[in-house]
Chains A and B, each alone.
Chain A
């Protein structure tokens, strides 16, 4: 279905987005290889989440192009991108609070199946979906809470459900928007190892502020500021770059 015309998993060229006079994305180009671990950093308001929203289709760019495995998806609705193998998590927890963890993850599985249109068979009768959902919950260490509603959970656990929901879809490209935000040190270590264990079949693009943890996970780093790409490249090169220092420490 997706004959790759280029070797990239995610190829963004000349992306622009403005809210009125505020330019939040300015000529952003990113080339991410399959299996790459890319960290996107930048101060608050640098346009990181807005960039994610454009990649996932929640927002339309004013100009520029987004290609997923060589396919132009710039004008695709979010659900069509999901079917091409794109998944994401949200910075602000976006879960089904009243439903059980199992149901939350089951919805993630259902989203990519034709049976999501089925109107006469109860969702609960799809035992293999429930089994699969529980397996995913087990992989993030939440199996023991599978039958609890999300609203019963602590913040750190909700973050892990976010991750489980996206992972259940076995995405080819996974966008993680601050997966470590608001976590305690021990939770941070847990989530870090969960992210580290994601299969190389999945390309991971991550926004994260916690550099100590996130840099270990990253192979390449992109630094954004005022909606522009400032530095882009191998992790150590970007860290050593003077402009990185400038953005983070001030000149």
Chain B
């Protein structure tokens, strides 16, 4: 039963470039990017118990750095990517120092405030960021000389990165460090008494989540070949958080499913329903009421119930 599920997921991930048109392949690429982003946020929210409303900072800053370095300062894509990721990591380390002075709601408010500062800067520092016009005319990298300009080639690229990200984060949460992180989420006081340093564990996780947020940001700017301050906005952070919670925070597959759902509603439903935000709200309400722990845990419970029922 389990291998059937795995085979179905593998097929769903491998088939789009062969069977679908460019529109759907591009949609699938966007889903992969949103999934990496949601998974990175889930390290904080689901496994660390740190609900952040400013995760777009890492996506946005990595994207802006890469865009500026390649379009303005003549860097190649390779070195630009490296510098962007390093810059994002340094920023996450710094933001973590500030935000982790608090937990819970205080933490959420600080992450929100910090991301709003960045969003404001992206708007106002128009001599660098081009403000509300955004930075256009960007290019995609050509790793090993392979052009990523076609929808299919970019999809393969995104799929490889997403698979790698998924595996790395799965290893992270099942490691000793991941167990420490979950312990600190559930019983911080006990963990400290056992010899764990809760603050350090949270900070390292914060930086690691920022790193993967940055990776999502690079893919985001490569895909769009354009960057605008909205990528740094609270809406961008909130959509990812919505995806994490709807899909099932603290699970590995949940955030990916949730991110896909949010993106599909945004891109697909908006073509038919003008007020797609309302639809998103209704879907979210349904999930919270029927499957309060999220879609993935909810479905698992449902299948377990079906299997346990004498037929």
Q: Is residue A200 contacting chain B, with contact meaning CB distance below 8 A?
A: no
* Set A56, A95, A120, A123: member contacting B193, Cβ < 8 A: A56
A79-B195 contact, Cβ under 8 Å, with A94-B190, A95-B187: yes
* Set B176, B193, B198: member contacting A121, Cβ < 8 A: B176
**Chain A nearest CB, measured from B49 CB (Å):** 13
A122 to B174, CA, bound (A): 5
Q: Is residue B192 contacting chain A, with contact meaning CB distance below 8 A?
A: yes
A106 to B194, CA, bound (A): 11
A87 to B195, CA, bound (A): 9
> Using Cβ atoms and an 8 Å threshold, which residues of chain B touch A57?
192
A169 to B197, CA, bound (A): 16
**Chain A nearest CB, measured from B45 CB (Å):** 17
**Chain A nearest CB, measured from B309 CB (Å):** 23
Mask, A79-102, CB within 8 Å of B = 1, is 100110001101000111110000
Do the beta carbons of B196 and A79 come within 8 Å of each other? yes
Mask, A54-66, CB within 8 Å of B = 1, is 0011100000000
Do the beta carbons of B191 and A111 come within 8 Å of each other? yes
A169-B195 contact, Cβ under 8 Å, with A94-B187, A94-B190: yes
Q: Is residue B177 contacting chain A, with contact meaning CB distance below 8 A?
A: yes
Q: Is residue A197 contacting chain B, with contact meaning CB distance below 8 A?
A: no
Q: Which of B171, B177, B179, B190 neighbours the largest number of chain A CB atoms within 10 Å of its CB?
A: B190
A111 to B172, CA, bound (A): 17
By size class, the interface of chain B is 20 to 34
A78-B177 contact, Cβ under 8 Å, with A94-B187, A95-B187, A119-B171: no
> Using Cβ atoms and an 8 Å threshold, which residues of chain B touch A98?
186
Interface positions, chain B 155-193, Cβ under 8 Å from A, are 171-172, 174-180, 183, 186-187, 189-193
A88 to B190, CA, bound (A): 9
A122-B175 contact, Cβ under 8 Å, with A95-B187, A96-B187: yes
> Using Cβ atoms and an 8 Å threshold, which residues of chain B touch A95?
187, 190
Q: How many residues of A contact B (CB 8 A)?
A: 36
Q: Is residue A42 contacting chain B, with contact meaning CB distance below 8 A?
A: no
Mask, B30-64, CB within 8 Å of A = 1, is 00000000000000000000000000000000000
Do the beta carbons of A123 and B176 come within 8 Å of each other? yes
A117-B176 contact, Cβ under 8 Å, with A77-B197, A79-B195: yes
A209 to B195, CA, bound (A): 28
Interface residues of B, Cβ cutoff 8 Å to A: 171-172, 174-180, 183, 186-187, 189-198
Interface residues of A, Cβ cutoff 8 Å to B: 56-58, 77-79, 82-83, 87-88, 90, 94-98, 103, 106-108, 110-112, 115-124, 126, 165, 169
Selected A-B contacts with CB under 8 Å, 28 pairs: A58-B192, A58-B193, A77-B197, A78-B192, A79-B194, A79-B196, A87-B194, A88-B193, A90-B190, A94-B187, A94-B190, A96-B186, A96-B190, A98-B186, A103-B179, A110-B176, A110-B194, A111-B191, A112-B194, A116-B176, A116-B180, A117-B176, A118-B175, A120-B171, A120-B175, A121-B176, A124-B174, A169-B194
